[in-house]
Amino acid sequence: MREVAVLGVGQTKFGELWDRSFREIGIEAGLQALVDAKLSSADLGALYLGNMASGSLIDQEHIAPLILDYAGLAGRHLPAMRVEGGGASGALALHQGYLAVASGLYDYVVVGGAEKLTDVPDATATQITASTADHEWEVVFGATLPALWGLVARRHMHLHGTTREQLARVSVHAHEMGSRNPNAHYRNRLTVEQVVGAPPIAEPLGVLDCAPFSDGAAAVVLGPLDEARRHTDTPVRIAASQVACDSMALQHRKEITSVGATVEAARLAFARARRAPADVQVAEIHDAYSICPIVGLEDLGFVPRGEAGPAFATGRFGLGGSPTINPSGGTKAQGRPFGAVGVAQVVELVRQLRGEAKERQVAGAALGLAHDLGGTGATSVVHLLERAN
Amino acid sequence: MSIARFWRETPRRYNLGGSKCGTCGTVYFPPRPVCPTCTRHRQSIATMAPFQLSGSGEVLSYTVVHEAAEGFEMQVPYVVALVKTDEGPVLTGQVVDLDPGRIRIGLRVHATFRKLREEGAAGVIHYGYKFAPEDDGERRPPPGRPADQVPSSATGDRARA
């Protein structure tokens, strides 16, 4: 297996992009990444595209060749493939791109993630995203994605004493970070009182505990680490790319306050990179609902079980924290275009590791972790990225 | 959803039909062709036998839903819970006949046959299980029905949302 590096990154603004189409945003992110990598499209071997639900959201399947076509590459007949894993689609696509370059089959690939959620009403988006849980045995009985995470939150509160205010701190943190990100869907700051007092969605989660439905796209160019210096002064090595899966329905997990797939993906990733959670300075972790990073930080090994809530309340995960969590603002503030999220997380980490994150830069960032989740954790993907010196 | 797609799950959704592994004895709902916990996955395949749940269990966790799933808009706010049945499997379902403010972890509940949702005014009506408090003292009379007419048991209760 060859070592793989990220050579270029690109990302559109996230938000309600009513004036822009799916193909426009997909192409913008991809071309930005190519330019950043100082590559010509003639160098490319393949395109991988992470996307959750284009068929339901924009009535368009078969989107990978569509993006390839409008990027001007149809005539080269490159292989283009869509990768789907619910909310983890983007990170899964990255895993596929990583495997392709590591194997030696392709030298340079573009991995994109794109989703257009605001072309349907919110209620429709709620139903479509709920289908990343088990439709037949959860959704049919009245569950939505926030309802299922509400069940996790209530159980976490019951077992570990996590409080409503601690959950609210997660959203306050996200918006504090997002206020520094010009690409973010929301750049306003929040208070604990605002989060707690917001209208309920699925108790204990309110509207400000839930990431928004956003449009957006992100892309990275991957290539062999040996060639990286020809393209960039600041190559970032993919030190680990691990995928793990678990039961589709929350009801079949042994304990719902832990995502087994994340525990396993993190264990494998840290073992492969020969590193530990304490070595990570910056992490982009799944935060679609305020309970998610609490469970995630415990599953990833950053804090002991039951201690993530209090840790958030102390402000431990801000800039310069141990580690800094979601400097992009996470999905709560930067926005949640489902299939784009896993790729956008890596775009942010690469900017951090290159020292290009401007006012949200984590000083001395050398090792970053990205954690992307599908549904209630049926798919979990962990990437470790390292500044290559 | 097509009629066939809901109809084929009738034995499970109406009668709580699960399965039991003949090798290790673990009970599953919905039924599975292969036992996930059995160390001998392949050997379990031919031994999985039908097993009906009693419908009794207790609330493992709950949420009060205010932004409804499709077809549940008229029921908000409604309680969705994970119910750990006495036979082992955990089911996701609504808890009804209860003031949402009185739901709690550990509450004993029993499955009851109800209308789940309908696909619009002219669409198919879906039926299946919901859960109600086992203790009559916990039960709330449904809207428009005086308390003294609330059935003492879920068995034989007419389907209603």
The pLDDT score that the predictor gives to residue B136 is 86
pLDDT tens sequence across A269-285: 999 999 999 999 999 99
- B145 in the same domain as B68: yes
Residue B113 pairs in a beta bridge with B129
The pLDDT score that the predictor gives to residue B157 is 42
Q: Which of A368-377, B40-49, B123-132 is predicted least confidently?
A: B40-49
Asked if B60 lies within 8 A of A155 by C-beta distance, the reply is: yes
Residue B1 has pLDDT above 70, yes or no: no
- B48 in the same domain as B76: no
| Among candidate residues A34, A8, A171, A88, the one with its CA nearest the CA of residue A370 | A88
Residue A133 pairs in a beta bridge with none
Residue of B67, B129, B130 lying closest to A202 (CB–CB): B67
Tally of domains within chain B: 2
Residue B28 has pLDDT above 60, yes or no: yes
Residue B19's φ and ψ, nearest 5 degrees, are -145, 160
| B28: containing domain | 17-52
The token pair at A140 is 């049919």
B26 lies in some domain? yes
| Among candidate residues A214, A170, A222, the one with its CA nearest the CA of residue A192 | A170
Q: Flag whether residue A212 sits within 8 Å of chain B, measured between CB atoms.
A: no
Same fold, A4-121+214-236 and A132-213+238-387: yes
Secondary element (H or E) of residue B42: helix B41-44
- Let me know: does B130 contact B96? Beta carbons within 8 Å: yes
CA dist A260 and A265 (Å) reads 9
pTM for the model stands at 0.95
Residue of B80, B90, B105 lying closest to A142 (CB–CB): B80
Residue of A136, A151, A247 lying closest to B62 (CB–CB): A151
Asked if B92 lies within 8 A of A143 by C-beta distance, the reply is: yes
CATH superfamily ID and name for A4-121+214-236: Thiolase/Chalcone synthase (3.40.47.10)
**Omega within 30 of 0 (cis) for the link into A323:** yes
Query: Which residue reads 């997002």 in tokens?
Result: A178
The token pair at A44 is 């490319």
CA torsion A145-A20-A11-A360 (nearest 10°) is -80
CA dist A339 and A381 (Å) reads 13
Average pLDDT in chain B = 87
Mean pLDDT of B50-56: 97
Chain B closest CA to A14's CA: distance in Å?
Answer: 24
Q: Return the number of CB contacts < 8 Å for A and B.
A: 105
pLDDT tens sequence across A324-345: 999 999 999 999 999 999 999 9
Residue B95 pairs in a beta bridge with B79, B131
- B98 in the same domain as B30: no
Percentage of residues in chain A with pLDDT exceeding 70?
A: 100
B5 lies in some domain? no
CA dist A322 and A316 (Å) reads 6
Q: Is B127 helix (H, G, I), strand (E, B) or coil?
A: strand
Residues whose CB falls within 8 Å of the CB of residue A318, separated by 6 or more in sequence, listed in order: A173, A176, A177, A324
Q: How far from A139 is each of A145, A200, A293, B37, CA to CA, in Å?
A: 9, 19, 23, 25
Percentage of residues in chain A with pLDDT exceeding 90?
A: 98
Residue of A141, A200, A256 lying closest to B61 (CB–CB): A256
- B136 in the same domain as B74: yes
Q: Are strands A4-11 and A80-83 parallel, antiparallel or unpaired?
A: unpaired
Q: Flag whether residue A356 sits within 8 Å of chain B, measured between CB atoms.
A: no
H helical segments located in chain A: 22-36, 54-58, 63-70, 89-103, 122-130, 145-160, 164-178, 192-197, 260-273, 291-300, 308-313, 330-333, 338-354
pLDDT category at B122 given cuts 50, 70, 90 is confident
Asked if A152 lies within 8 A of B61 by C-beta distance, the reply is: yes
B129 lies in some domain? yes
Select from B7, B32, B52 the last residue of a domain. B52
- B104 in the same domain as B48: no
Neighbours of B51 (CB within 10 A): 17
Domain A132-213+238-387 -> CATH class: alpha beta
Chain A closest CA to B135's CA: distance in Å?
Answer: 23
Q: Which of A295-304, B28-37, B141-150 is predicted least confidently?
A: B141-150
Asked if B67 lies within 8 A of A201 by C-beta distance, the reply is: yes
Asked if B116 lies within 8 A of A140 by C-beta distance, the reply is: yes
Residues whose CB falls within 8 Å of the CB of residue B146, separated by 6 or more in sequence, listed in order: none
- Indicate left, alpha or beta for B148 from its phi (over 0: left) and psi (-120 to 50: alpha): alpha
Chain A closest CA to B138's CA: distance in Å?
Answer: 21
Asked if B68 lies within 8 A of A144 by C-beta distance, the reply is: yes
Site from B8, B19, B82 to mutate, A interface, most A CB atoms within 10 angstroms: B82
Residue A147 has pLDDT above 50, yes or no: yes
- Let me know: does B85 contact B30? Beta carbons within 8 Å: no
152-191 of A, contacting B, C-beta below 8 A: 152-155, 158
Mean pLDDT of A288-316: 97
Mean pLDDT of A177-194: 98
pLDDT tens sequence across A162-173: 999 999 999 999
CA dist B33 and B28 (Å) reads 10
Q: Structural domain boundaries of chain A?
A: 4-121+214-236, 132-213+238-387
List the helix and strand counts (H, then E) for chain A.
Answer: 13, 12
CA dist A328 and A126 (Å) reads 24
The token pair at A262 is 């994340």
